[in-house]
Amino acid sequence: MNTKNLTCINCPMGCSLTVEMEGDQVIRVSGNTCKRGEIYARKEVTDPTRIVTSTVKVLHGNAAVIPVKTKEDIPKGKIFDCVKALKKIQVEAPVHIGDVIAADIAGTGVDVIATKNVEQGADI
Amino acid sequence: MEKYDIVVIGGGPAGLAAAISAKRSGIDSVLILERDRELGGILNQCIHNGFGLHTFQEELTGPEYAHRFIRQVMELGIEYRLDTMVMDISREKLVMAMNRKDGLFDIQAKAVILAMGCRERARGALNIPGFRPAGIYSAGTAQKLVNVEGCMPGREVVILGSGDIGLIMARRMTLEGARVQAVAELMPYSGGLKRNIVQCLEDYGIPLKLSHTVIDIRGRERLEGVTLAEVDGRGRPVPGTEEFYSCDTLLLSVGLIPENELSGKMGVEMNPVTSGPRVNESLETNIGGVFACGNVLHVHDLVDFVSEEAGAAGRNAAAYVKEYAENSVTGSAKDSVKDGTKASTRDNWKDGTKAGTRDNWKDSVAGSAEDSVTGSVEDSVGDSTKDNRRDGTKAGTSENATGRADHQRGREIRLQPAEGVRYTVPERINVSRMDEKLSVRFRVGNVYKNCYVSTYFDRERVSRRKRQVVAPGEMEEVILTREQLLQYPDLETISIKVEA
């Protein structure tokens, strides 16, 4: 059996959570003062995921870069692969909110989409 | 000279929501003045997600959240001018602005909504010894460089202050390949959201050094490093705890200050705690027809609440303009405004001498709009005033005094921050003018665990809410209802306290 310590992020309490695990199985969550803490802890130790946001270079646009995000959560361990893959990408203006910038980023099955409109313009 | 009913100063989240709400309340002549090259304000550089959970029940990034409002501005055909800097606003609501196309120009407004936002506290406010090399940025400046301009300010980073922008930038710069060595926080607790501490620092193994500060800056031309030290209970460095960090970049995330140069210059009364205007239940300042909302009023932590507050400011400004129109038609202070549920009457504030004269806004419970209001400048004594408030069909009275007369006569209730509470917005309530529900927002001065947030009507405690924790970093709210306040006709002061 091993234990993991987490800080709950659901409210400003920031409860210190202790998760007791047997292999991949969660045996017990303690330290939480509400149900949300337990749900968070179970997810965080078995399948931690994050939305990743970054920027991508734009060509011939009225902005230098365009902000993007993963359309859904991706595994926490894939964050850096995702950001690295985005570094290699350049897009041509115009680009609009929701446009797919990179499909299936870093083998996660999740698309990266634009979060802002960038119109054509003099390169900045 | 150009004329608009409502001029909104600033096209960020507050200005956008205020303009949309004013337009939806039936005012067609609305103009937004924005100094940047696009609408949306600081949201444009906040590319992380987490915005809009309250408003849209989904997590948006800053630009996406802004876009929802910008789209409405476009659809409603609200006018706006970009790259336009407001230089001055007079008490008579003459707005002086400039841009490259029109040069310097004047706009006469009937109502003005202040929505200029806030700016970051800079190094000069911190008294850090050392040289002034390149490489020291406010966190927001670095955020703009990285997320909008697409360039990195440095590679080896130390961050002073654990405000949310600093935490967000710790993660952002890490993802862009920089090494963020530490975040130092003077206080024994962080001012940032828990979620940001976990997902921006702990996820990347960045240490948060509480009760630490920067005591020296090395480097003449370019930053070479900083010395951090632990501080004691009074914020003084503890000898022997100094640690040198070699770095080329220092980011400061040490607080936000409402940007009120224009407000102060025009004579808007300020609250020294918030550094924002003092406002009443309508978010109106001491100058009639001048409203404030968003971070220029008090610094918020969630943009959703900015939008909500700005929506109220927009509605109230629209109601003011409607009265204004009727006043100028009749040329007297005697008329009424219909807005469905409320029939209100109010004089224009006569500013010149700051002796504001304003009618009492009255309830018309019956909804009869054409109640015969004699908005004469007849003074009435406290007792009859209270009757008026309860009886919507009776004539309202106006006063001839300094604009604080409402309070002196017991008609305007004062909101008072008490134990543990630093300020409240608004600070005054005229019950007859408030909506059914009023959000009173405030911040506490310290971290309190297992406490109660209590509301007192004069000496009577009317509500007590158990809280596991309240912290200075999170804005708090108490909801007051008009129904509840009408039951206390003699009420003078509402105080909000944190109790053990």
Q: How far is B479 from chain A (nearest CA, A)?
A: 20
B172-186, B406-420, B453-467: least confident range: B406-420
Note whether A67 contacts B474, CB cutoff 8 Å.
no
Cross-chain residue pair B194–A79, CB shorter than 8 Å: no
Residue B310 pLDDT > 50, yes or no?
yes
User: What are φ and ψ of residue B240, in 5° steps?
Assistant: 95, -10
Q: What is the pLDDT of residues B220-250, one digit of tens each?
A: 999 999 999 999 989 899 999 999 999 999 9
**Mean model confidence pLDDT for chain B:** 86
Q: What is the pLDDT of residue B338?
A: 39
CATH of domain B122-254: 3.50.50.60
Q: What integer is the mean pLDDT of B29-36?
A: 98
Contacts of A116 in chain B (CB under 8 A): 44, 63-64, 67
pLDDT range class, residue B380, cuts 50, 70, 90: very low
**Predicted ipTM > 0.85:** yes
| B189 Cα distance to chain centroid | 24
Which residues in chain A are closer than 8 Å to B60, comparing Cβ atoms?
115
According to CATH, the superfamily of the domain at B2-119+257-331 is FAD/NAD(P)-binding domain (3.50.50.60)
First to last CA, chain A: 56
Tell me which of 3.30.1490.20, 3.10.530.10, 3.40.1670.10, 3.30.2320.80 is the CATH number of domain A53-114.
Answer: 3.10.530.10
From B478's Cα to the closest Cα of chain A, the distance in A is: 18
| Amino acid at residue number A10 | N
Task: Report the SS3 class of residue B272.
Answer: coil
Domain limits, CATH 3.10.530.10, in chain A: 53-114
Contact B175 A9 (CB under 8 A): no
Closest CA to B44 of B122, B118, B146, B116: B146
Lowest mean pLDDT among A24-33, B12-21, B48-57, B361-370: B361-370
Categorize the per-residue pLDDT at B131 as very low, low, confident or very high, splitting at 50, 70 and 90. Answer: confident
Q: Are B273 and B423 in contact (CB under 8 A)?
A: yes
In this prediction, residue B194 has a pLDDT band, given cuts at 50, 70 and 90, of confident
Residue ranges of chain A whose pLDDT lies below 50: none
Q: How far is CA B298 from CA B225, B295, B426, in A?
A: 34, 5, 10
Count of positions (residues) in chain A = 124
Q: What Rg do the C-alpha atoms of chain B give, in angstroms?
A: 24
Distance in angstroms (rounded) separating the CA atoms of residues B24 and B357: 29
pLDDT(B365) > 90:
no
pTM of the model: 0.84
Token pair of B123 as six digits: 């190094």
E strand or H helix at B438: strand B437-444
> Are both B2-119+257-331 and B122-254 of the same fold?
yes
Q: What is the C-alpha to C-alpha distance for residues B6 and B317, in angstroms, rounded to an integer?
A: 7
Give me the residue spans of the domains in chain B. Answer: 2-119+257-331, 122-254, 412-499
Cα Rg, chain A, nearest whole Å: 19
Q: Phi and psi of B140, rounded to 5°?
A: -70, -35
Nearest CA in chain A to B168: A53
pLDDT single digits (tens) B384-395:
333 333 333 333
